[in-house]
Amino acid sequence: MIPLLIVALVLLVLLLLPLGVRVRYDEDGLFAALKIGPVLFRLFPPRENKKPKKEKKSKEDKPKQAEEHPKKKGGALALVEGCLPLVKPALEGIRKRLTIRHLELHVIWAAADPADAAMGYGYANAALGALWPLFYRNFKIRDYALGVDVDFDAAAPTLYAKADLTMTVFRLLTLALPLLFQFIKIYRSVNAAPKGETVKKEA
Protein backbone atom coordinates (compact mmCIF):
# COMPACT_ATOMS: atom_id res chain seq x y z
CA MET A 1 0.00 0.00 0.00
CA ILE A 2 2.77 2.43 0.92
CA PRO A 3 4.65 1.95 -2.41
CA LEU A 4 1.43 2.70 -4.31
CA LEU A 5 0.91 5.87 -2.29
CA ILE A 6 4.50 6.94 -3.00
CA VAL A 7 4.03 6.32 -6.74
CA ALA A 8 0.74 8.23 -6.72
CA LEU A 9 2.38 11.11 -4.85
CA VAL A 10 5.28 11.23 -7.33
CA LEU A 11 2.85 11.22 -10.28
CA LEU A 12 0.83 14.02 -8.68
CA VAL A 13 3.97 16.11 -8.19
CA LEU A 14 4.99 15.51 -11.82
CA LEU A 15 1.54 16.48 -13.10
CA LEU A 16 1.61 19.70 -11.09
CA LEU A 17 5.22 20.49 -12.07
CA PRO A 18 5.30 23.85 -13.88
CA LEU A 19 6.93 23.93 -17.30
CA GLY A 20 8.02 27.37 -18.32
CA VAL A 21 9.62 29.34 -21.10
CA ARG A 22 11.60 32.52 -20.59
CA VAL A 23 11.96 34.81 -23.60
CA ARG A 24 13.97 38.03 -23.61
CA TYR A 25 14.88 40.53 -26.29
CA ASP A 26 17.46 43.24 -25.57
CA GLU A 27 20.67 44.71 -26.95
CA ASP A 28 22.25 41.23 -27.00
CA GLY A 29 19.50 39.86 -29.24
CA LEU A 30 16.96 37.12 -28.64
CA PHE A 31 17.28 34.75 -25.67
CA ALA A 32 15.02 31.77 -24.98
CA ALA A 33 15.21 29.17 -22.23
CA LEU A 34 13.13 26.23 -21.03
CA LYS A 35 12.35 26.19 -17.32
CA ILE A 36 11.51 22.92 -15.56
CA GLY A 37 10.76 23.70 -11.95
CA PRO A 38 13.65 25.86 -10.73
CA VAL A 39 16.10 24.66 -13.42
CA LEU A 40 16.70 26.75 -16.54
CA PHE A 41 17.91 25.24 -19.85
CA ARG A 42 19.04 27.65 -22.54
CA LEU A 43 17.52 27.01 -25.96
CA PHE A 44 18.66 30.04 -27.96
CA PRO A 45 21.23 31.22 -28.74
CA PRO A 46 23.06 27.86 -28.62
CA ARG A 47 26.19 27.66 -26.54
CA GLU A 48 29.38 27.99 -28.53
CA ASN A 49 31.63 24.93 -28.70
CA LYS A 50 35.07 25.49 -27.23
CA LYS A 51 36.80 23.35 -29.85
CA PRO A 52 36.53 24.84 -33.34
CA LYS A 53 35.37 22.40 -35.97
CA LYS A 54 37.91 21.49 -38.60
CA GLU A 55 36.94 22.40 -42.12
CA LYS A 56 36.58 19.40 -44.39
CA LYS A 57 38.52 19.66 -47.61
CA SER A 58 36.47 18.89 -50.67
CA LYS A 59 37.85 16.14 -52.88
CA GLU A 60 36.70 17.81 -56.05
CA ASP A 61 36.67 21.46 -56.97
CA LYS A 62 34.14 21.08 -59.76
CA PRO A 63 30.43 21.55 -58.86
CA LYS A 64 28.33 18.44 -58.48
CA GLN A 65 26.02 17.48 -61.29
CA ALA A 66 22.27 17.77 -60.97
CA GLU A 67 21.81 13.98 -60.94
CA GLU A 68 23.94 13.80 -57.78
CA HIS A 69 21.32 15.89 -55.95
CA PRO A 70 17.94 14.22 -56.54
CA LYS A 71 15.01 16.43 -55.66
CA LYS A 72 13.11 15.23 -52.59
CA LYS A 73 9.43 14.62 -53.06
CA GLY A 74 7.04 16.31 -50.65
CA GLY A 75 4.51 14.63 -48.43
CA ALA A 76 0.81 14.51 -49.12
CA LEU A 77 -0.86 17.91 -48.96
CA ALA A 78 -4.01 16.16 -47.77
CA LEU A 79 -2.42 15.62 -44.36
CA VAL A 80 -1.82 19.36 -43.94
CA GLU A 81 -5.35 20.16 -45.09
CA GLY A 82 -6.78 17.58 -42.70
CA CYS A 83 -4.83 19.02 -39.76
CA LEU A 84 -5.92 22.63 -40.36
CA PRO A 85 -9.06 22.24 -38.16
CA LEU A 86 -6.76 21.38 -35.24
CA VAL A 87 -5.05 24.80 -35.33
CA LYS A 88 -7.93 26.74 -33.79
CA PRO A 89 -8.51 24.40 -30.79
CA ALA A 90 -4.75 24.23 -30.22
CA LEU A 91 -4.43 28.03 -30.06
CA GLU A 92 -7.56 28.29 -27.92
CA GLY A 93 -6.23 25.63 -25.55
CA ILE A 94 -2.90 27.39 -25.21
CA ARG A 95 -4.64 30.68 -24.54
CA LYS A 96 -6.73 29.17 -21.72
CA ARG A 97 -3.95 27.12 -20.11
CA LEU A 98 -0.93 29.38 -20.49
CA THR A 99 -0.04 31.78 -17.67
CA ILE A 100 2.25 34.78 -18.16
CA ARG A 101 3.85 35.21 -14.76
CA HIS A 102 5.84 38.30 -15.67
CA LEU A 103 5.87 40.54 -18.73
CA GLU A 104 8.01 43.58 -19.46
CA LEU A 105 7.79 45.87 -22.48
CA HIS A 106 9.92 48.99 -22.61
CA VAL A 107 10.18 51.13 -25.74
CA ILE A 108 12.84 53.84 -25.98
CA TRP A 109 12.17 56.22 -28.85
CA ALA A 110 15.23 57.86 -30.36
CA ALA A 111 15.07 61.27 -31.98
CA ALA A 112 17.41 64.24 -31.98
CA ASP A 113 14.63 66.67 -32.86
CA PRO A 114 12.17 67.38 -30.00
CA ALA A 115 9.20 67.53 -32.42
CA ASP A 116 10.05 64.13 -33.92
CA ALA A 117 10.61 62.75 -30.44
CA ALA A 118 7.20 63.92 -29.27
CA MET A 119 5.53 62.47 -32.37
CA GLY A 120 7.31 59.13 -32.05
CA TYR A 121 6.56 59.00 -28.34
CA GLY A 122 2.89 59.54 -29.10
CA TYR A 123 2.84 56.82 -31.78
CA ALA A 124 4.53 54.33 -29.47
CA ASN A 125 2.13 55.06 -26.62
CA ALA A 126 -0.87 54.80 -28.93
CA ALA A 127 0.30 51.47 -30.36
CA LEU A 128 0.96 50.06 -26.90
CA GLY A 129 -2.38 51.34 -25.66
CA ALA A 130 -4.22 49.70 -28.55
CA LEU A 131 -2.48 46.33 -28.32
CA TRP A 132 -2.39 45.91 -24.56
CA PRO A 133 -6.16 45.48 -23.87
CA LEU A 134 -6.33 42.83 -26.60
CA PHE A 135 -3.35 41.02 -25.12
CA TYR A 136 -4.60 41.32 -21.55
CA ARG A 137 -8.09 39.96 -22.34
CA ASN A 138 -6.73 36.88 -24.11
CA PHE A 139 -4.03 35.76 -21.68
CA LYS A 140 -3.67 35.25 -17.94
CA ILE A 141 -1.09 37.83 -16.87
CA ARG A 142 0.03 37.89 -13.25
CA ASP A 143 2.53 40.75 -13.29
CA TYR A 144 3.55 43.26 -15.93
CA ALA A 145 5.51 46.47 -16.48
CA LEU A 146 5.10 48.69 -19.54
CA GLY A 147 6.83 51.91 -20.47
CA VAL A 148 7.77 54.34 -23.24
CA ASP A 149 10.70 56.76 -22.95
CA VAL A 150 12.62 59.14 -25.20
CA ASP A 151 16.39 59.20 -25.73
CA PHE A 152 17.71 62.20 -27.69
CA ASP A 153 21.22 60.70 -27.91
CA ALA A 154 20.32 57.24 -29.21
CA ALA A 155 20.77 56.45 -32.89
CA ALA A 156 17.63 54.31 -33.30
CA PRO A 157 14.55 53.26 -31.31
CA THR A 158 15.02 50.20 -29.11
CA LEU A 159 12.79 47.66 -27.43
CA TYR A 160 13.32 45.64 -24.28
CA ALA A 161 10.94 42.72 -23.86
CA LYS A 162 10.88 39.89 -21.35
CA ALA A 163 8.24 37.25 -20.66
CA ASP A 164 8.01 34.28 -18.30
CA LEU A 165 5.41 31.78 -19.53
CA THR A 166 4.29 28.74 -17.53
CA MET A 167 1.98 25.76 -17.94
CA THR A 168 1.71 22.70 -15.69
CA VAL A 169 2.37 19.21 -17.05
CA PHE A 170 -1.27 18.32 -16.35
CA ARG A 171 -2.58 21.25 -18.40
CA LEU A 172 -0.14 20.43 -21.20
CA LEU A 173 -1.31 16.80 -21.30
CA THR A 174 -5.00 17.77 -21.33
CA LEU A 175 -4.23 19.93 -24.37
CA ALA A 176 -1.79 17.67 -26.22
CA LEU A 177 -3.39 14.23 -25.83
CA PRO A 178 -6.78 15.01 -27.47
CA LEU A 179 -5.00 16.80 -30.32
CA LEU A 180 -2.60 13.87 -30.69
CA PHE A 181 -5.47 11.38 -30.94
CA GLN A 182 -7.19 13.53 -33.58
CA PHE A 183 -3.92 13.85 -35.51
CA ILE A 184 -3.42 10.06 -35.50
CA LYS A 185 -6.98 9.60 -36.76
CA ILE A 186 -6.41 12.12 -39.58
CA TYR A 187 -3.02 10.59 -40.42
CA ARG A 188 -4.52 7.10 -40.74
CA SER A 189 -7.41 8.33 -42.88
CA VAL A 190 -4.99 10.13 -45.22
CA ASN A 191 -2.83 7.03 -45.62
CA ALA A 192 -5.88 4.82 -46.11
CA ALA A 193 -7.40 7.04 -48.81
CA PRO A 194 -6.42 6.29 -52.42
CA LYS A 195 -3.96 8.74 -53.96
CA GLY A 196 -5.61 11.77 -55.49
CA GLU A 197 -8.66 11.63 -53.23
CA THR A 198 -9.22 14.21 -50.52
CA VAL A 199 -10.04 13.28 -46.97
CA LYS A 200 -13.60 13.95 -45.91
CA LYS A 201 -13.74 16.52 -43.10
CA GLU A 202 -15.72 15.49 -40.06
CA ALA A 203 -18.54 17.77 -38.96
Q: Is the dihedral of CA 146, 17, 170, 188 positive or negative?
A: positive
- pLDDT at position 193 is 66
- pLDDT at position 200 is 54
Q: Are 34 and 43 in contact (CB under 8 A)?
A: yes
Question: What one-letter code names the amino acid at 31?
Answer: F
- pLDDT at position 164 is 93
pLDDT tens-place string over residues 109-156? 887 788 888 888 888 889 888 888 888 888 889 999 988 888 888 778
Query: 34-38, 49-53, 93-97, 159-163: which has the minimum mean pLDDT?
Result: 49-53
pLDDT cut 70: percent of the chain above it: 80
Q: Rounded to whole angstroms, how far apart are CA atoms 186 and 180?
A: 10
Is pTM beyond 0.85 here?
no
Question: What one-letter code names the amino acid at 89?
Answer: P
Q: Are 102 and 143 in contact (CB under 8 A)?
A: yes
pLDDT band of residue 91 (cuts 50, 70, 90) is confident
Judged against a pLDDT cut of 80, whether residue 194 lies above it is answered with no
Strand 99-110 with 140-141, pairing: parallel
Q: Rounded to whole angstroms, how far apart are CA atoms 109 and 128?
A: 13
Q: Rounded to whole angstroms, how far apart are CA atoms 127 and 131?
A: 6
- pLDDT at position 45 is 85
